[in-house]
Amino acid sequence: MSLPLAVRGLSWVTRNFPNLPGRWRIVRWLDQHEHSFASLPPKTVRFARDFRMRVDPVDENGRRIYVNGFQPLERLTRHFVRLLRPGDCVIDIGANVGYYTMVAAKLVGPTGCVHAFEASPRVFSRLQTNAGLNPGANIHVHSQAVTDHCGEIEFYAAAAERTGYSSIRNLGEEANSVATVPTISLDSILDELPTARLVKIDVEGAELLVLKGMRRLIERDKPFFIFEIDDVFLRELGADARQQCDFLVDAGYDLFRIVAKGALEPVVEPPTDRCNILACPQEM
């Protein structure tokens, strides 16, 4: 059996049998042979019950879904599971191909809704495809970069293997392509958005711009936030981790670092390393 064929077969096993004894050993072996995914074509896979996703195993985001499918115990996913209820509204900013969009859609059900934003024209087409593969889910996709204003901005697409690193930051020689994309603030469409229960933000350094563009939404909804924070990336766009944390603390939030197995550690000082944060409204 060729290595790519073995990778494809074992990925089917790990994706469809999440409780298989010893599954972690297979996943570790697949991680060690990630180069073999380069020869695999895009594929439509089952994502949880009654959901499907079209993924590209070449891209690290697609590969994660190709190998694992829906991961309820993944450290961020478990907080989606804990926080969301049928009928909730979720906003996914920096949705990529839609892993967390689909997680949210599964949890909120057809009475809830998900608004997913993706700035990369190439990746947005994949997100749009995945939303279309699940017509029973109430998913609205938007092809804008969410910032603090409406207009246009240059967007730098990363390599096909790392689409999640695409950003409005200037990637220099690491940019695969550059495009001018429309920008939007959430406050500019506030009347079109239902009350949000959870906002997930992963925009590679533009997180504070997103927050500044949704002051009215925060005041109206007081949603939970799950967001990435990277001080180096923030500084490239004129901000830093302290400013981002202070913004939410001043808005009435408690911040927790999401660590191994989804455990939470209170944020005492703004993190200088790349990590994920859960922000909880204090009155909750």
**Which residue, among 156, 126, 129, 135, has the nearest Cα to 61 in the 3D structure?**
126
How are beta strands 151-157 and 177-184 bridged, if at all?
Answer: antiparallel
Q: pLDDT at position 50, please?
A: 86
- Residue 124 pLDDT: 96
- Per-residue pLDDT of the chain in tens (284 residues, 90 and over written 9): 588 899 999 999 999 998 899 999 999 999 999 899 999 999 999 988 889 999 999 999 999 999 999 989 899 999 999 999 999 999 999 999 999 999 999 999 999 999 999 999 999 999 999 999 999 999 999 999 999 999 999 999 999 888 988 999 999 888 889 999 999 999 999 999 999 999 999 999 899 999 999 999 999 999 999 999 999 999 999 999 999 999 999 999 999 999 998 999 999 999 989 999 999 999 75
Question: Which pLDDT value is given to residue 284?
Answer: 56
Tell me what pLDDT residue 175 has. Answer: 86
Q: What is the pTM of this model?
A: 0.94
Q: Is residue 247 part of a domain?
A: yes
Could you tell me if residue 132 is inside a domain? yes
**CATH number, domain at 126?**
3.40.50.150
Q: Token pair of 172, please?
A: 């220099």
Q: Confirm whether 250 is domain-assigned.
A: yes
As for how many domains the chain has, the answer is 1
Distance CA 259, CA 240 (A): 21
Is 57 within a domain? no
- In this predicted structure, what is the pLDDT of residue 106? 96
Mapped onto helix, strand or coil, the DSSP state of residue 269 is coil
Is residue 10 included in any domain, yes or no? no
Question: Quick check: is 137 in a domain?
Answer: yes
- Residue 31 falls within a domain, yes or no? no
The encoded tokens of residue 235 equal 């500084």
Measured over the CA atoms of residue 94, residue 97, residue 103 and residue 107, the dihedral's sign is positive
* Any domain includes 127: yes
Q: What are 25's two structure tokens?
A: 């050993």
Q: What pLDDT is recorded for position 1?
A: 58
Q: What is the span of the domain harbouring residue 132? A: 68-145+190-281
What pLDDT was estimated at residue 213? 97
